[in-house]
Structure 1
Amino acid sequence: MSAQSPKAAGAAVTPVIETRGLRKVYSPGTEAEVVALRDVDLTVMPGEFLAIMGPSGSGKSTLMNLIGCLDTPSGGQYLCDGVDVSTLDAEALAVLRREKIGFVFQGFHLLPRMTALENGAMPLGYARVPPAERRERARAALEAVGLGARLHHRPNELSGGQQQRVAIARALINDPPVLLADEPTGALDSRTGEEILALFKRLRDEGHTVVLITHDAHVAAHADRICVMRDGQLHEATHEELKA
Protein backbone atom coordinates (compact mmCIF):
# COMPACT_ATOMS: atom_id res chain seq x y z
CA MET A 1 0.00 0.00 0.00
CA SER A 2 1.27 3.50 -0.80
CA ALA A 3 1.38 6.64 1.31
CA GLN A 4 3.02 9.41 -0.70
CA SER A 5 3.61 12.90 0.60
CA PRO A 6 1.74 15.63 -1.29
CA LYS A 7 5.01 17.60 -1.15
CA ALA A 8 6.70 14.87 -3.19
CA ALA A 9 4.71 15.56 -6.35
CA GLY A 10 6.77 17.47 -8.89
CA ALA A 11 9.50 18.33 -6.37
CA ALA A 12 13.24 17.81 -6.79
CA VAL A 13 13.73 17.65 -3.03
CA THR A 14 15.03 14.31 -1.72
CA PRO A 15 12.57 12.56 0.61
CA VAL A 16 13.94 12.29 4.12
CA ILE A 17 12.18 8.91 4.46
CA GLU A 18 11.29 6.64 1.56
CA THR A 19 10.26 2.98 1.76
CA ARG A 20 9.51 0.78 -1.22
CA GLY A 21 7.71 -2.51 -0.73
CA LEU A 22 9.00 -2.76 2.85
CA ARG A 23 8.27 -6.12 4.50
CA LYS A 24 9.01 -7.61 7.90
CA VAL A 25 8.37 -11.24 8.78
CA TYR A 26 9.21 -12.74 12.16
CA SER A 27 10.08 -16.46 12.44
CA PRO A 28 9.57 -17.06 8.68
CA GLY A 29 8.73 -20.59 7.62
CA THR A 30 7.73 -21.72 11.10
CA GLU A 31 4.40 -22.19 12.85
CA ALA A 32 5.17 -19.00 14.76
CA GLU A 33 5.53 -16.91 11.56
CA VAL A 34 4.16 -13.37 11.88
CA VAL A 35 3.94 -10.97 8.94
CA ALA A 36 4.35 -7.59 10.64
CA LEU A 37 4.67 -5.39 7.53
CA ARG A 38 3.24 -6.05 4.06
CA ASP A 39 4.78 -4.12 1.15
CA VAL A 40 4.76 -0.68 2.77
CA ASP A 41 5.45 2.30 0.50
CA LEU A 42 5.94 5.57 2.36
CA THR A 43 7.37 8.93 1.30
CA VAL A 44 8.02 11.68 3.84
CA MET A 45 9.47 15.02 2.72
CA PRO A 46 11.62 17.39 4.79
CA GLY A 47 9.59 19.53 7.19
CA GLU A 48 6.53 17.29 7.36
CA PHE A 49 4.73 16.36 10.58
CA LEU A 50 3.33 12.87 9.94
CA ALA A 51 1.31 10.74 12.34
CA ILE A 52 1.16 6.97 11.85
CA MET A 53 -1.92 5.70 13.64
CA GLY A 54 -3.10 2.19 14.36
CA PRO A 55 -4.18 -0.22 17.09
CA SER A 56 -1.78 -2.33 19.11
CA GLY A 57 -0.24 -5.05 16.94
CA SER A 58 -0.94 -3.26 13.65
CA GLY A 59 2.74 -2.98 12.75
CA LYS A 60 3.30 0.72 13.45
CA SER A 61 6.10 0.21 15.99
CA THR A 62 7.76 -2.32 13.66
CA LEU A 63 7.70 0.32 10.94
CA MET A 64 9.22 2.89 13.30
CA ASN A 65 12.00 0.48 14.26
CA LEU A 66 12.84 0.00 10.58
CA ILE A 67 12.70 3.74 9.84
CA GLY A 68 14.93 4.31 12.88
CA CYS A 69 17.42 1.65 11.68
CA LEU A 70 16.89 -0.30 14.90
CA ASP A 71 15.88 -3.38 12.89
CA THR A 72 16.34 -4.68 9.35
CA PRO A 73 13.53 -5.45 6.88
CA SER A 74 12.82 -8.91 5.46
CA GLY A 75 12.33 -7.36 2.01
CA GLY A 76 11.92 -4.10 0.16
CA GLN A 77 14.04 -0.98 0.35
CA TYR A 78 14.48 1.91 2.79
CA LEU A 79 16.22 5.16 1.93
CA CYS A 80 16.98 7.63 4.72
CA ASP A 81 17.80 11.09 3.38
CA GLY A 82 18.53 9.44 0.02
CA VAL A 83 20.84 6.73 1.44
CA ASP A 84 19.90 3.07 0.95
CA VAL A 85 20.48 1.80 4.50
CA SER A 86 21.00 -1.80 3.29
CA THR A 87 24.32 -0.67 1.75
CA LEU A 88 25.73 0.51 5.10
CA ASP A 89 27.99 -1.49 7.41
CA ALA A 90 27.44 -1.46 11.18
CA GLU A 91 29.66 1.57 11.77
CA ALA A 92 28.07 3.65 9.00
CA LEU A 93 24.61 2.64 10.23
CA ALA A 94 25.48 3.84 13.75
CA VAL A 95 26.65 7.19 12.32
CA LEU A 96 23.42 7.54 10.30
CA ARG A 97 21.31 6.82 13.40
CA ARG A 98 23.26 9.33 15.46
CA GLU A 99 23.30 12.15 12.89
CA LYS A 100 20.01 11.73 11.00
CA ILE A 101 17.48 10.45 13.56
CA GLY A 102 16.37 11.57 17.01
CA PHE A 103 14.24 9.20 19.10
CA VAL A 104 11.53 10.12 21.61
CA PHE A 105 9.70 7.35 23.48
CA GLN A 106 6.73 7.09 25.80
CA GLY A 107 8.96 6.10 28.71
CA PHE A 108 11.45 9.04 28.66
CA HIS A 109 14.49 6.71 29.22
CA LEU A 110 16.36 9.20 31.41
CA LEU A 111 19.15 8.06 33.74
CA PRO A 112 17.93 8.78 37.29
CA ARG A 113 21.29 9.78 38.77
CA MET A 114 22.03 12.30 36.02
CA THR A 115 20.80 15.89 35.85
CA ALA A 116 18.73 17.19 32.95
CA LEU A 117 21.91 18.74 31.53
CA GLU A 118 23.83 15.45 31.77
CA ASN A 119 20.95 13.42 30.30
CA GLY A 120 20.59 15.87 27.43
CA ALA A 121 24.31 15.76 26.64
CA MET A 122 24.57 11.95 26.57
CA PRO A 123 24.53 11.42 22.75
CA LEU A 124 27.44 13.85 22.39
CA GLY A 125 29.62 11.54 24.49
CA TYR A 126 29.21 8.80 21.88
CA ALA A 127 30.15 11.36 19.20
CA ARG A 128 33.35 12.22 21.17
CA VAL A 129 32.41 15.87 21.55
CA PRO A 130 34.60 17.62 24.19
CA PRO A 131 32.90 17.96 27.63
CA ALA A 132 32.69 21.79 27.60
CA GLU A 133 31.00 21.79 24.18
CA ARG A 134 28.66 18.99 25.33
CA ARG A 135 27.46 21.09 28.26
CA GLU A 136 26.98 24.19 26.15
CA ARG A 137 25.03 22.38 23.43
CA ALA A 138 22.90 20.54 26.01
CA ARG A 139 22.17 23.84 27.75
CA ALA A 140 21.03 25.37 24.45
CA ALA A 141 18.85 22.34 23.61
CA LEU A 142 17.18 22.39 27.04
CA GLU A 143 16.58 26.13 26.83
CA ALA A 144 15.02 25.58 23.39
CA VAL A 145 12.42 23.24 24.94
CA GLY A 146 11.72 25.59 27.86
CA LEU A 147 13.85 23.95 30.55
CA GLY A 148 16.54 26.57 31.06
CA ALA A 149 15.64 26.81 34.75
CA ARG A 150 15.80 23.05 35.35
CA LEU A 151 19.28 22.20 34.03
CA HIS A 152 20.56 20.75 37.30
CA HIS A 153 17.44 18.87 38.37
CA ARG A 154 17.37 15.08 38.31
CA PRO A 155 14.42 13.19 36.75
CA ASN A 156 12.70 12.60 40.11
CA GLU A 157 12.66 16.39 40.60
CA LEU A 158 10.90 16.97 37.28
CA SER A 159 7.27 16.50 36.20
CA GLY A 160 6.39 13.98 33.50
CA GLY A 161 6.12 16.75 30.92
CA GLN A 162 9.48 18.18 31.94
CA GLN A 163 11.08 14.73 31.69
CA GLN A 164 9.67 14.34 28.18
CA ARG A 165 11.12 17.75 27.27
CA VAL A 166 14.54 16.55 28.45
CA ALA A 167 14.10 13.48 26.24
CA ILE A 168 13.19 15.72 23.28
CA ALA A 169 16.21 17.97 23.94
CA ARG A 170 18.41 14.85 24.01
CA ALA A 171 16.90 13.73 20.68
CA LEU A 172 17.66 17.16 19.18
CA ILE A 173 21.23 17.46 20.47
CA ASN A 174 22.84 16.34 17.18
CA ASP A 175 20.36 18.46 15.15
CA PRO A 176 18.97 15.43 13.27
CA PRO A 177 16.66 16.08 10.31
CA VAL A 178 14.19 13.42 11.54
CA LEU A 179 12.48 13.05 14.91
CA LEU A 180 10.75 9.71 15.55
CA ALA A 181 8.31 9.84 18.45
CA ASP A 182 6.68 6.59 19.66
CA GLU A 183 3.57 7.36 21.77
CA PRO A 184 5.35 10.44 23.22
CA THR A 185 2.26 11.65 25.11
CA GLY A 186 1.14 8.21 26.34
CA ALA A 187 2.46 8.69 29.89
CA LEU A 188 1.26 12.30 30.20
CA ASP A 189 -1.99 13.95 31.23
CA SER A 190 -3.97 15.58 28.42
CA ARG A 191 -2.88 19.18 29.12
CA THR A 192 0.81 18.26 29.27
CA GLY A 193 0.36 16.11 26.17
CA GLU A 194 -1.00 19.14 24.31
CA GLU A 195 2.09 21.12 25.33
CA ILE A 196 4.40 18.41 23.99
CA LEU A 197 2.45 18.25 20.71
CA ALA A 198 2.71 22.05 20.40
CA LEU A 199 6.47 21.67 20.86
CA PHE A 200 6.59 19.14 17.99
CA LYS A 201 4.71 21.63 15.79
CA ARG A 202 7.24 24.31 16.63
CA LEU A 203 10.09 21.94 15.77
CA ARG A 204 8.35 21.21 12.45
CA ASP A 205 8.16 24.95 11.80
CA GLU A 206 11.92 25.16 12.47
CA GLY A 207 12.60 22.61 9.73
CA HIS A 208 12.60 19.23 11.48
CA THR A 209 10.66 16.29 10.08
CA VAL A 210 8.48 14.71 12.76
CA VAL A 211 7.06 11.19 12.53
CA LEU A 212 4.76 10.40 15.43
CA ILE A 213 3.45 6.91 16.22
CA THR A 214 0.15 6.81 18.11
CA HIS A 215 -3.03 4.80 18.65
CA ASP A 216 -4.94 7.99 19.56
CA ALA A 217 -6.84 9.87 16.83
CA HIS A 218 -6.87 13.06 18.95
CA VAL A 219 -3.07 13.02 19.09
CA ALA A 220 -2.78 12.16 15.38
CA ALA A 221 -5.05 15.11 14.51
CA HIS A 222 -2.21 17.50 15.44
CA ALA A 223 -0.13 16.27 12.49
CA ASP A 224 -0.18 17.72 8.97
CA ARG A 225 -0.82 14.28 7.52
CA ILE A 226 -2.06 10.98 8.92
CA CYS A 227 -1.43 7.43 7.76
CA VAL A 228 -3.11 4.36 9.22
CA MET A 229 -1.50 0.96 9.84
CA ARG A 230 -3.79 -2.02 9.81
CA ASP A 231 -2.68 -5.65 9.65
CA GLY A 232 0.77 -4.63 8.45
CA GLN A 233 -0.48 -2.40 5.63
CA LEU A 234 -0.18 1.38 5.48
CA HIS A 235 -2.52 3.86 3.78
CA GLU A 236 -3.60 7.47 4.05
CA ALA A 237 -6.26 8.02 6.69
CA THR A 238 -9.90 8.53 5.72
CA HIS A 239 -12.31 10.78 7.61
CA GLU A 240 -14.24 7.70 8.73
CA GLU A 241 -11.13 6.17 10.30
CA LEU A 242 -10.36 9.37 12.18
CA LYS A 243 -13.90 9.48 13.57
CA ALA A 244 -13.85 5.82 14.61
Structure 2
Amino acid sequence: MSGPVTQRPPVVETHGLGKVYSAGTQAEVVALRGVDLRIERGAFVAIMGPSGSGKSTLMNLLGCLDTPDTGTYWCDGVDVATLDAEERAALRLDKIGFVFQGFNLLPRMSALENVAMPLGYANVPTAERLQRAADALAAVGLDTRGHHRPSELSGGQQQRVAIARALINQPPILLADEPTGALDSRTGEEILALFKRLRDDDHTVVLITHDAEVAAHADRTYVMHDGELQPQEGTP
Protein backbone atom coordinates (compact mmCIF):
# COMPACT_ATOMS: atom_id res chain seq x y z
CA MET A 1 0.00 0.00 0.00
CA SER A 2 1.47 3.36 -0.95
CA GLY A 3 1.66 6.19 1.59
CA PRO A 4 -0.11 9.53 1.32
CA VAL A 5 1.00 11.94 -1.38
CA THR A 6 2.98 14.79 0.19
CA GLN A 7 1.68 18.19 -0.89
CA ARG A 8 4.53 20.42 -2.03
CA PRO A 9 4.44 23.90 -0.52
CA PRO A 10 4.10 26.92 -2.82
CA VAL A 11 7.54 28.21 -3.83
CA VAL A 12 6.42 31.75 -2.94
CA GLU A 13 3.87 32.61 -0.27
CA THR A 14 3.54 36.06 1.27
CA HIS A 15 0.99 37.42 3.72
CA GLY A 16 0.60 41.13 4.41
CA LEU A 17 4.07 41.99 3.15
CA GLY A 18 4.95 45.64 3.78
CA LYS A 19 8.03 47.83 3.35
CA VAL A 20 8.52 51.47 4.33
CA TYR A 21 11.65 53.50 3.61
CA SER A 22 12.73 56.44 5.84
CA ALA A 23 9.80 55.76 8.18
CA GLY A 24 8.73 58.70 10.33
CA THR A 25 10.59 61.31 8.28
CA GLN A 26 9.48 63.75 5.61
CA ALA A 27 11.11 61.44 3.07
CA GLU A 28 8.95 58.45 4.11
CA VAL A 29 8.01 56.18 1.20
CA VAL A 30 5.54 53.30 1.59
CA ALA A 31 6.96 50.92 -1.02
CA LEU A 32 4.74 47.88 -0.32
CA ARG A 33 1.31 47.68 1.29
CA GLY A 34 -0.03 44.34 2.54
CA VAL A 35 1.07 42.19 -0.38
CA ASP A 36 -0.46 38.69 -0.47
CA LEU A 37 1.01 36.42 -3.13
CA ARG A 38 1.01 32.66 -3.68
CA ILE A 39 2.97 31.07 -6.54
CA GLU A 40 2.99 27.31 -7.06
CA ARG A 41 5.90 25.32 -8.43
CA GLY A 42 5.98 25.21 -12.23
CA ALA A 43 4.17 28.54 -12.71
CA PHE A 44 5.13 31.41 -15.01
CA VAL A 45 4.01 34.64 -13.34
CA ALA A 46 4.55 38.27 -14.37
CA ILE A 47 4.57 41.19 -11.94
CA MET A 48 3.94 44.33 -13.93
CA GLY A 49 4.01 47.99 -13.00
CA PRO A 50 5.55 51.35 -13.85
CA SER A 51 8.71 52.71 -12.27
CA GLY A 52 8.09 53.53 -8.60
CA SER A 53 5.16 51.14 -8.24
CA GLY A 54 6.98 48.88 -5.77
CA LYS A 55 7.78 45.95 -8.07
CA SER A 56 11.57 46.23 -7.57
CA THR A 57 11.08 46.33 -3.78
CA LEU A 58 8.92 43.21 -4.02
CA MET A 59 11.56 41.49 -6.16
CA ASN A 60 14.24 42.30 -3.58
CA LEU A 61 12.09 40.77 -0.84
CA LEU A 62 11.25 37.66 -2.89
CA GLY A 63 14.96 37.33 -3.72
CA CYS A 64 15.90 37.57 -0.02
CA LEU A 65 18.03 40.63 -0.80
CA ASP A 66 16.01 42.69 1.70
CA THR A 67 13.64 42.02 4.60
CA PRO A 68 10.04 43.24 5.03
CA ASP A 69 8.92 45.56 7.82
CA THR A 70 5.60 43.73 8.20
CA GLY A 71 4.11 40.44 7.04
CA THR A 72 5.62 37.04 6.33
CA TYR A 73 7.41 35.41 3.40
CA TRP A 74 7.70 31.66 3.00
CA CYS A 75 10.27 30.73 0.34
CA ASP A 76 9.78 27.11 -0.77
CA GLY A 77 8.38 26.27 2.66
CA VAL A 78 10.94 28.23 4.71
CA ASP A 79 9.88 31.21 6.86
CA VAL A 80 12.52 33.75 5.81
CA ALA A 81 12.02 35.79 9.00
CA THR A 82 13.52 32.95 11.05
CA LEU A 83 16.87 33.18 9.21
CA ASP A 84 19.90 35.32 10.01
CA ALA A 85 21.87 37.07 7.23
CA GLU A 86 24.15 34.08 6.62
CA GLU A 87 21.24 31.65 6.44
CA ARG A 88 19.39 34.01 4.07
CA ALA A 89 22.46 34.06 1.79
CA ALA A 90 22.52 30.24 1.81
CA LEU A 91 18.79 30.13 1.01
CA ARG A 92 19.31 32.57 -1.86
CA LEU A 93 22.07 30.39 -3.33
CA ASP A 94 19.97 27.24 -2.99
CA LYS A 95 16.47 28.44 -3.88
CA ILE A 96 16.71 31.47 -6.20
CA GLY A 97 18.26 32.11 -9.59
CA PHE A 98 18.51 35.75 -10.73
CA VAL A 99 18.35 37.05 -14.31
CA PHE A 100 18.88 40.78 -14.90
CA GLN A 101 18.44 43.16 -17.81
CA GLY A 102 22.20 43.82 -17.98
CA PHE A 103 23.31 40.12 -18.12
CA ASN A 104 26.02 40.77 -15.42
CA LEU A 105 28.57 38.41 -17.01
CA LEU A 106 32.26 38.68 -16.17
CA PRO A 107 34.02 39.77 -19.40
CA ARG A 108 37.30 37.90 -18.84
CA MET A 109 35.58 34.57 -18.27
CA SER A 110 34.24 32.20 -20.91
CA ALA A 111 30.52 31.40 -21.03
CA LEU A 112 31.27 28.06 -19.35
CA GLU A 113 33.22 29.73 -16.52
CA ASN A 114 30.49 32.34 -16.01
CA VAL A 115 27.84 29.65 -15.70
CA ALA A 116 29.97 27.52 -13.35
CA MET A 117 30.77 30.43 -11.01
CA PRO A 118 27.90 29.98 -8.46
CA LEU A 119 29.03 26.38 -7.87
CA GLY A 120 32.35 27.72 -6.59
CA TYR A 121 30.48 29.28 -3.66
CA ALA A 122 28.88 25.89 -3.03
CA ASN A 123 32.33 24.18 -2.95
CA VAL A 124 31.52 21.86 -5.84
CA PRO A 125 34.69 20.20 -7.31
CA THR A 126 36.00 21.78 -10.53
CA ALA A 127 35.33 18.83 -12.87
CA GLU A 128 31.73 18.53 -11.68
CA ARG A 129 31.28 22.32 -11.89
CA LEU A 130 32.33 22.40 -15.54
CA GLN A 131 30.20 19.39 -16.46
CA ARG A 132 27.11 20.88 -14.83
CA ALA A 133 27.82 24.22 -16.52
CA ALA A 134 28.09 22.48 -19.90
CA ASP A 135 24.74 20.74 -19.25
CA ALA A 136 23.14 24.08 -18.30
CA LEU A 137 24.45 25.74 -21.48
CA ALA A 138 23.07 22.85 -23.52
CA ALA A 139 19.69 23.33 -21.83
CA VAL A 140 19.53 26.92 -23.15
CA GLY A 141 20.78 25.97 -26.63
CA LEU A 142 24.39 27.16 -26.29
CA ASP A 143 26.32 23.90 -26.05
CA THR A 144 28.73 25.00 -28.82
CA ARG A 145 29.48 28.43 -27.30
CA GLY A 146 30.98 27.46 -23.94
CA HIS A 147 34.47 28.75 -24.67
CA HIS A 148 33.37 32.13 -26.06
CA ARG A 149 33.72 35.24 -23.94
CA PRO A 150 30.71 37.56 -23.54
CA SER A 151 32.11 40.04 -26.09
CA GLU A 152 32.02 37.26 -28.70
CA LEU A 153 28.32 36.56 -28.09
CA SER A 154 25.16 38.38 -29.20
CA GLY A 155 22.89 40.03 -26.63
CA GLY A 156 20.46 37.14 -26.79
CA GLN A 157 23.26 34.61 -26.34
CA GLN A 158 24.61 36.56 -23.35
CA GLN A 159 21.16 36.50 -21.74
CA ARG A 160 20.99 32.73 -22.33
CA VAL A 161 24.34 32.37 -20.56
CA ALA A 162 22.93 34.43 -17.67
CA ILE A 163 19.84 32.16 -17.54
CA ALA A 164 22.06 29.04 -17.55
CA ARG A 165 24.05 30.54 -14.66
CA ALA A 166 20.80 31.22 -12.77
CA LEU A 167 19.75 27.58 -13.27
CA ILE A 168 23.06 25.95 -12.31
CA ASN A 169 22.00 25.14 -8.73
CA GLN A 170 18.59 23.90 -9.95
CA PRO A 171 16.77 26.50 -7.83
CA PRO A 172 12.97 26.25 -7.55
CA ILE A 173 12.57 29.99 -8.29
CA LEU A 174 13.87 31.96 -11.28
CA LEU A 175 13.53 35.73 -10.69
CA ALA A 176 13.89 37.66 -13.94
CA ASP A 177 14.06 41.48 -13.71
CA GLU A 178 13.31 43.11 -17.11
CA PRO A 179 15.20 40.24 -18.81
CA THR A 180 14.32 41.36 -22.35
CA GLY A 181 14.88 45.08 -21.73
CA ALA A 182 18.26 45.20 -23.49
CA LEU A 183 17.22 42.96 -26.40
CA ASP A 184 15.52 43.57 -29.73
CA SER A 185 11.95 42.30 -29.98
CA ARG A 186 12.74 39.08 -31.88
CA THR A 187 15.51 38.09 -29.46
CA GLY A 188 13.25 39.00 -26.56
CA GLU A 189 10.59 36.64 -27.92
CA GLU A 190 13.20 33.84 -27.99
CA ILE A 191 14.11 34.45 -24.34
CA LEU A 192 10.41 34.44 -23.34
CA ALA A 193 9.93 31.17 -25.25
CA LEU A 194 12.87 29.75 -23.27
CA PHE A 195 11.16 30.75 -20.00
CA LYS A 196 8.06 28.82 -21.14
CA ARG A 197 10.18 25.72 -21.77
CA LEU A 198 11.74 26.08 -18.31
CA ARG A 199 8.26 26.33 -16.78
CA ASP A 200 7.31 23.13 -18.59
CA ASP A 201 10.37 21.52 -16.93
CA ASP A 202 8.92 22.43 -13.48
CA HIS A 203 10.91 25.63 -12.90
CA THR A 204 8.97 28.56 -11.46
CA VAL A 205 9.53 31.79 -13.38
CA VAL A 206 8.71 35.16 -11.79
CA LEU A 207 9.08 37.92 -14.38
CA ILE A 208 9.32 41.57 -13.30
CA THR A 209 8.45 43.98 -16.13
CA HIS A 210 6.88 47.32 -17.01
CA ASP A 211 5.91 46.02 -20.47
CA ALA A 212 2.40 44.61 -20.98
CA GLU A 213 3.46 42.76 -24.16
CA VAL A 214 6.20 40.95 -22.22
CA ALA A 215 3.87 40.20 -19.30
CA ALA A 216 1.32 38.70 -21.73
CA HIS A 217 3.64 35.70 -22.21
CA ALA A 218 3.15 34.65 -18.58
CA ASP A 219 0.36 32.34 -17.43
CA ARG A 220 -0.77 34.85 -14.82
CA THR A 221 -0.08 38.58 -14.38
CA TYR A 222 -0.20 40.73 -11.27
CA VAL A 223 -0.19 44.52 -11.45
CA MET A 224 1.58 46.73 -8.91
CA HIS A 225 0.36 50.25 -8.24
CA ASP A 226 1.41 52.44 -5.31
CA GLY A 227 2.80 49.43 -3.45
CA GLU A 228 -0.34 47.31 -3.80
CA LEU A 229 -0.49 44.08 -5.80
CA GLN A 230 -3.61 42.92 -7.63
CA PRO A 231 -4.26 40.15 -10.20
CA GLN A 232 -4.72 41.59 -13.66
CA GLU A 233 -8.32 41.45 -14.80
CA GLY A 234 -8.97 38.49 -17.03
CA THR A 235 -6.05 36.37 -15.76
CA PRO A 236 -6.71 33.14 -13.84
Please give the range of the TM-score, normalised by the shorter of the 2 chains: over 0.9
d(CA) in 2 for partners of 1:216 and 1:238?
16
Structure 2 matches for 1:70-219, cutoff 5 A?
70-219=65-214
d(CA) in 2 for partners of 1:169 and 1:200?
11
Shift of residue 56 of structure 1? 0.7
What is the aligned-residue identity percentage?
76
d(CA) in 1 for partners of 2:224 and 2:214?
15
Q: How many residue pairs get matched?
A: 230
Show the counterpart of 2:215. 220
d(CA) in 2 for partners of 1:170 and 1:51?
21
List 4+ stretches of structure 1 deviating above 2 A. Answer: none
Show the counterpart of 1:29. 24
Shift of residue 12 of structure 1? 4.1
1:66 corresponds, among 46, 58, 61, to: 61
1:38 corresponds, among 33, 36, 45, to: 33
d(CA) in 1 for partners of 2:53 and 2:190?
27
Give the TM-score taking structure 1 as reference length: 0.92
Cα RMSD for the two superposed structures: 1.2
Instruction: Tell me the alpha carbon deviations over residues 84-114 of structure 1, each in whole angstroms, 9 at most, x when there is no partner.
Output: 1010122221111011100000010000000
Show the counterpart of 1:8. none
2:80 aligned with 1:47: no
- SS of match in other structure, 2:144: helix
d(CA) in 1 for partners of 2:148 and 2:36?
43
2:30 aligned with 1:19: no
Q: What runs of 5+ residues in structure 1 fail to find an aligned partner?
A: 1-10
d(CA) in 1 for partners of 2:63 and 2:105?
19
- SS of match in other structure, 1:148: coil
Letter in 2 for 1:207: D
Instruction: Tell me the alpha carbon deviations over residues 18-58 of structure 1, each in whole angstroms, 9 at most, x when there is no partner.
Output: 01000010010111110000000000011110000001110
Shift of residue 74 of structure 1? 1.0
Give the TM-score taking structure 2 as reference length: 0.95
Instruction: Tell me the alpha carbon deviations over residues 102-156 of structure 1, each in whole angstroms, 9 at most, x when there is no partner.
Output: 0000010000000000000010000011111111100100011011111010010
d(CA) in 1 for partners of 2:200 and 2:141?
16
- SS of match in other structure, 1:18: strand
Letter in 2 for 1:209: T
Letter in 1 for 2:78: V
d(CA) in 2 for partners of 1:121 and 1:13?
29
d(CA) in 2 for partners of 1:59 and 1:89?
24
- SS of match in other structure, 1:56: coil
d(CA) in 2 for partners of 1:42 and 1:153?
40
